[in-house]
Chain A
Amino acid sequence: MSRATAPTTFADGGGGATLSPDHYAEVPYEEKLRLWDEVKADPRFPDYMYGCYECGICVAACPSARFYDFSPRKIAQAAGREDVELIFEQMNDDVWNCSQCFSCNRCPRQNSPGGLITILREVAVKNGLASSKAALEGYTRIVYKIMTTGTQVSPDMLQADAFPDWGPGVTEVSDKLDLWRRALPPETLHTTSMSWVVEQKTLNELYLIWHLTGVMDMIAEVDEGLHMIILDVMEESLEEAGYQI
Chain B
Amino acid sequence: MSIIPIESIRVKPRPDPANAPTVDMRERLFELEAAGELIVQRVPEPYIEVTTKYGRIKKIPEQMTWHHKSCGQCGHIPGYSTAIFWLNRKLGMDYNDPTDQTSCTAWNYYASATSNAAAQAGVAMRNFAAAHEVGYFPIIHCGTSYGHYKEVREEIVSHPDLRAQVRDIMGKLGKQLVMPEEIVHYSEWVHAMRDRFAALQVYDFSNITASVHPACHYYKLVQEDAIYDPDIYGGERTATVTALVQALGAKVGDYSTFFDCCGFGFRHILVERDFTRSFATQRKIEVMKAEANPDVTLTHDTGCVTTLDKSQFAAKAHNRNVGIPVMSDAQFAALAMGAHPYKVCQLHWHTTDYTALLEKMGIDWEQAWIEFENEVARIERGEIEFLSWEDAGV
Contacts and interface: CB of A to CB of B under 8 A. Distances in A.
Interface string A29-64: 000000000000011100100000000000001011
Contacts, number: 256
A213 interface: yes
Interface in A82-141: 96, 99-103, 105-106, 118, 121-122, 124-126, 132, 135-136, 138-139
Given A182-B387, A183-B375, A67 B220 contact: no
Interface centre among A61, A182, A214 (most CB of B within 10 A): A182
Interface in A140-194: 142-143, 146, 150-155, 157-158, 163, 165-167, 169, 172-173, 176, 179-190, 194
A184 B264 CA distance: 26
A229 interface: no
Nearest to A150: B102
B343 interface: yes
B282 to A, nearest CB: 9
Contacts of B349: 169, 173, 180
A65 B102 CA distance: 33
Interface of A: 42-44, 47, 61, 63-64, 66-68, 96, 99-103, 105-106, 118, 121-122, 124-126, 132, 135-136, 138-139, 142-143, 146, 150-155, 157-158, 163, 165-167, 169, 172-173, 176, 179-190, 194-199, 201-203, 205-206, 208-210, 212-215, 218-219, 222
Contacts of A179: 376, 379-380
Given A139-B270, A198-B100, 7 more contacts: A61-B259, A135-B267, A152-B108, A189-B78, A195-B71, A196-B101, A219-B114
A218 B387 CA distance: 42
Nearest to B263: A63
A100 B314 CA distance: 24
Interface residues of B, number: 94
Given A146-B105, A152-B103, A183 B111 contact: no
Contacts of B267: 96, 135, 139
B376 A183 contact: yes
A180 B379 CA distance: 9
Contact of A151 (B82, B103, B119): B103
Interface of B: 69-76, 78, 81-82, 85-86, 97-103, 105, 107-119, 122-123, 126, 130, 147, 154-155, 158-159, 161-162, 169, 172-173, 175, 216-217, 220-221, 223, 259-261, 263-268, 270-271, 273, 275, 277-279, 283, 310-311, 313-314, 343-344, 346, 348-351, 372, 375-376, 379-380, 385-389, 391-392
